[in-house]
Chains A and B, each alone.
Chain A
Amino acid sequence: MSLRETTPRHSLRRRHLLRLALAAPLASSLPRQLTAQEQRIRLIVRGERPLNAETPVSVFDRLLTPTESFFVRSHFRPPAVGLRPWVVRVEGLVERPFQINLKELDTLRLEPSSIVAVLQCAGNGRAFFEPVVPGVPWRKGAVGCAEWSGVRLADLIRHAGLQPQAAHVHTLTADIPPHPQTPPFLRSIPLDRALHPSTLLATHINGEPLPAIHGGPLRLIVPGWTGNHWIKWIRGLVVSSEEAPGFYQQTAYRMPLHPVPPGTNPPPDQLVPVTELNIKSLFARPEDGAIIASGRQRLVGAAWSGFTPVERVEISINRGPWTPAQLGPAASPFAWRIWQHEWDPTPGHHELAVRATDAHGTTQPESTPWNKSGYLWNGIDRVRVEVRA
């Protein structure tokens, strides 16, 4: 039965078809006031299945992001946890391959380890690139800071003993592509990064067992590096002389070695893997578009980087001079630092900006060089507020 046969009247049919085609998705796309319940939002949804959701910036005013508001990045649906004992294999270029039931990890007598570290998706801020790029359109909230606890990856690998040719560690995960043609989320990290003392296999977040949605029961923690290395649902570690093969290591998560004109993509030999986080800061308060009462305001937010520490955070009001904000303590080399700044506004409309600078003197740019997949956005965060007398 064709559509033409079902709708004989010309104008009616045209209207019906257009409505059918366009109205349903676009109706939900109209901006609207948030309800009281929505104002207590835990997460902003960027895709329901598989779940991709970002944290509202308002909770970036504290060291540890609450687990219930921590952003979620999924490529495929999460695997079932609890179908059978969670067994982790360590094999490849090792002297003594082994596998262990996660419940019996204690029997290896590895030293427990914890670290407070920022986890940020490589694509956080993708929505700010112009021209627009495809992918999950993260704005500010695909980032968070948590305490991760477990054992050092180095200890587990050394338990197996490395062979001399070892150079990379492939991370086998349990999430399953929906179709045989869909590439698995197979990735690897270089051996020196795997052996770095900050690199953990975590079973806990903020003192609680790691929820399955965040990669429980076992997730790789790679402080200072982008979230694509923080593999969820670890089931195996394969030591190899080569990087992992396949789409997610060899094609995805690469960006130009040198800046390119927007809209262009250099040949593969001019692309390098996305690894270390760059210097970045955000406002937690006030939120963009906020209407605030006059009187002294405390501006608050978070600032972080990769391996080079944050050295200073500065505020500019209405494109005026940059003045230093007060920078809170560093809970660890990989934790973010909460900053604050007192502001006595006059009534009216104002634009506030924050920028951070690292110990090498690298400062956030106005906007990040364009790259085809929208990685590592760290343009200066600006919010517009209205102060009412």
Chain B
Amino acid sequence: MNHHPLTTPIALTLALLVGLFPIAPTPAQDDEEGERLALGRIAFDNACRMCHEPALVEQQRLNAAQWDAEIDKMIGWGARVAPEERPNLHAYLVAAFGPQNQPALQVLADPIPKPVAHHLVPPPPTASAQRGALLYAQHCANCHGPDARGGDPGQNLVDQESLLTPEPFAAIVANGRHRMPAFAEVITASASEDIRAWLLSLTGEPSPNP
């Protein structure tokens, strides 16, 4: 096939002018966009990662409308996203995990980590579920909900695997995890066993008519 010698350069120039120039951001626009994405990333860490490790989200390739629907669904399911955070979160998800996303292969080479235990190591006889209830109300209920069945932003604690043994439960209380702060200064190891004793008194038995 013979092209006019100028066809290709002209086509390229046109493509550059039409395709790039109108969306090439000025430094100020770029700056605003960067800040919006950074704030969106913070909202993602705070709201989504309470329940999801990022792999599930990192492997998505959704367009703006689909991310909009996902955010709505998750807010309906209890994700805490303030109205002013929502546009930033949406912009971040579309920019980072839009249709152009090429997710990495993530593999598990070792066997699935087994739970710490399959048998309960009960709190010592000196532990008191009654004291635990008071400690829980004072330090934990604000995030995990008054009945420990989840709140803002704490997860449901009923029937958690971490309740089976004194550790890692005490370590999570002492050091915190995800957005949970460290309580080492205010909750001793024995108080941690009081709280575990109270949480163990709750059951996740499903209701036949939810």
Contact = CB atoms under 8 A, between A and B. Distances in A.
Interface string B2-44: 0000000000000000000000000100110011011111000
B38 A178 contact: no
A304 B43 CA distance: 44
Contacts of B103: 29, 137
A22 B95 contact: yes
B125 interface: no
B34 A21 contact: yes
A25 B96 contact: yes
Given A82-B119, A82-B120, A174-B159, A235 B206 contact: yes
Interface in A131-185: 131-134, 136-137, 170, 172-174, 176-184
A178 B56 contact: no
A82 B159 contact: no
Q: For chain A, which range describes its interface: under 10, 10 to 19, 20 to 34, or 35 or more residues?
A: 35 or more
A32 B150 contact: no
B159 to A, nearest CB: 5
Given A174-B204, A179-B77, A212 B158 contact: no
B54 interface: yes
B102 interface: yes
Interface string B104-126: 11111111101101111000000
B77 A182 contact: yes
Interface residues of B, number: 72
A176 B95 contact: no
A37 B99 CA distance: 31
A176 B156 contact: yes
B208 A177 contact: no
B85 interface: no
Interface string B42-61: 00000000111111101111
B56 A136 contact: yes
A89 B207 CA distance: 11
Interface in B73-89: 76-79
Interface stretch (A10-18, A114-122, A309-317): A10-18
B38 A137 contact: no
B208 A172 contact: yes
B161 A78 contact: yes
A385 interface: no
A134 B62 contact: yes
Interface string B126-170: 000000000000000000010001110001101111011000000
Interface string A331-374: 00000000000000000000000000000000000000000000
Given A173-B206, A178-B50, A132 B99 contact: yes
Interface stretch (A38-46, A190-198, A274-282): A38-46
Contacts of A246: 210
A81 interface: yes
B104 A181 contact: no
B34 A14 contact: yes
A213 interface: yes
B23 to A, nearest CB: 16
Interface in A211-237: 211-213, 235-236
A235 B160 CA distance: 16
B117 A176 contact: no
Nearest to A209: B118
A235 B207 CA distance: 11
B200 interface: yes
Interface stretch (A48-56, A291-299, A375-383): A48-56
Interface in A74-95: 77-84, 89, 91-92
Contacts of A18: 30, 34, 37-38
A235 B109 CA distance: 32
A245 interface: yes
A108 interface: no
B159 A80 contact: yes
A31 B104 CA distance: 6
B76 to A, nearest CB: 7
Of A40, A47, A50, most buried by chain B (CB within 10 Å of CB) is: A47
Interface of A: 3-4, 10-11, 13-14, 17-18, 20-22, 24-26, 28-32, 34, 37-38, 40-53, 68, 72, 77-84, 89, 91-92, 131-134, 136-137, 170, 172-174, 176-184, 186, 211-213, 235-236, 238, 245-246
14 contacts: A3-B38, A4-B35, A21-B37, A28-B106, A30-B104, A42-B110, A46-B55, A50-B51, A50-B52, A77-B160, A177-B77, A181-B77, A184-B206, A235-B205
Given A17-B31, A84-B120, A176-B156, 6 more contacts: A18-B37, A38-B109, A43-B112, A45-B55, A68-B111, A176-B204
**Closest A-B pairs by Cβ, 6 of them:** A179-B78, A47-B56, A21-B37, A17-B34, A181-B78, A48-B53
